[in-house]
Amino acid sequence: MFTVLSRLRKATLALGALTAVGLLAACDPVATSGTGSAGTGGPAIRGGAPVPVALLVPKSDSGAGPVAASLENAARLAIRELDGVEIDLRVYDTAGQAGQASVVAQKAVDDGAKIILGPLFSEAANAAGAAVADEGVNVLSFSNTTAIAGGNVFILGPTYATTANRLMGYARKTGKTRAVIIYSNDVPGQFGRAAIEQAATVNGVQIMSSEPYELSIEGVSATAQRAAATVTSGAADTIFITTDATNAAMPMLLNQLPSNGVSPGQVQFVGLTRWDVRPDLFNMPGAQGAWFALPDNQRQEAFNQRYSAAFGAAPHPLAGLAYDGISAIGLLAKRGNSDALTGKSLTSAGFTGTGGVFRLLKNGTNQRALAVASIQNNQMVILDPAPSSLSGTGF
């Protein structure tokens, strides 16, 4: 999913970038831990009555319109599949703009919405949350920018923090204790590095060096040489790479590192992004035996099939976030409690989503169950399945 979000960023600069505190408008992952605690309040709902839910999506945005349509379809699919609870879904167009998101968020609440699902982009989500904060209405944004999380804003998108912790925990469990980080010398790379460093601290792994690179043949080559020197000296047993699988630097790194004497048999390569989105990487020297994390493939494929059967086309990779949001709202509302959509209730339960189990955290971020996969004989193999419950190991 990180890859998809990055592509969306490149497709339309007007949508902004979700990669940094100062660039809060797209969907690239960031690794900060949230700006504060989420609130505990929220409007009361009537047990047994349809729950008014507002869906905020960038329908009229030329670059994100297809994503908006897929998000809406997924939300409606989730509503169809709910049992014992009714959702009154009303859709509002943000046009991909923060100002418009603020206006329609307020209109949605004036129309009776008890919770907001969306918007997609972080600037819009931040604006929507601010607009309805005084009414205490919670916002379940599709963003994964942790910098906007907190107060009445929750993020549903996957974060670097969850991925880094899952992979670092698995590395430690298998005996890895010393790591090198290779990261792009830009905002996404710096946030990826920060997530890995935090996960290393939590899991008792020592970071031996962090090696940035500039996106050029010379820059990647120099970084590969520095990282290889640390490994060949015996100082590290793992290399974490933040680079997106679709980035031009990835194949260069996977060739340059072995060329500098670092083979997969000597050191464990770990990717912070999903490498399965680019199968042509699988036959590269540095990819053999590498690890990366991904959601529960069986659940994801089941959702994809149901969506395709309902709408005649495959869902956008982000569509599952809308399904997850409606499923969470429905589960809580089904209990019949008037406080079902308060911050306290939202963070007190776990949910089963399109990619496995997940939960919303009190700082407004989320935690999602992930599997650990490896590339073996040019094929993806699941080494450690995604946990099926919130108490499972690997969460």
Instruction: Output the DSSP codes for 287-320.
Output: GTT-EEEE--HHHHHHHHHHHHHHHSSPPPTTHH
- 395 pLDDT band, cuts 50/70/90, is low
- Superfamily of the domain at 160-294+371-384: Response regulator (3.40.50.2300)
Q: What's the pLDDT score for residue 392? A: 56
Q: What is the pLDDT of residues 176-232, one digit of tens each?
A: 999 999 999 998 899 999 999 999 999 999 999 999 999 999 999 999 999 999 999
What is the spatial distance between Cα 161 and Cα 22, in angstroms, rounded to a whole number? 19
The percentage of residues in the chain with a pLDDT greater than 70, rounded to a whole number, is 89
Q: What's the pLDDT score for residue 5? A: 44
What is the spatial distance between Cα 83 and Cα 88, in angstroms, rounded to a whole number? 14
Instruction: Output the DSSP codes for 379-394.
Output: EEEEEEPPPSSTTSTT
Q: What's the pLDDT score for residue 48? A: 81
Within 13 Å, how many C-alpha atoms sit on residue 340's CB side? 23
Q: What is the pLDDT of residues 271-320, one digit of tens each?
A: 999 999 999 999 998 999 999 999 999 999 999 999 999 999 999 999 99
Average pLDDT score, the chain: 89
Q: Where are the domains of the chain?
A: 34-157+300-364, 160-294+371-384
Which of 346, 350, 322 is CA-nearest to residue 69? 322
| Contact indicator for 119, 157 with CB cutoff of 8 Å | no
- Token pair for residue 185? 């010398």
pTM: 0.84
Q: What is the pLDDT of residues 87-136, one digit of tens each?
A: 999 999 999 999 999 999 999 999 999 999 999 999 999 999 999 999 99
Instruction: Tell me if domain 34-157+300-364 and domain 160-294+371-384 are identical in fold.
Output: yes
Neighbours of 375 (CB within 10 A): 25
What is the fold, at CATH topology level, of the domain defined by 34-157+300-364? Rossmann fold (3.40.50)
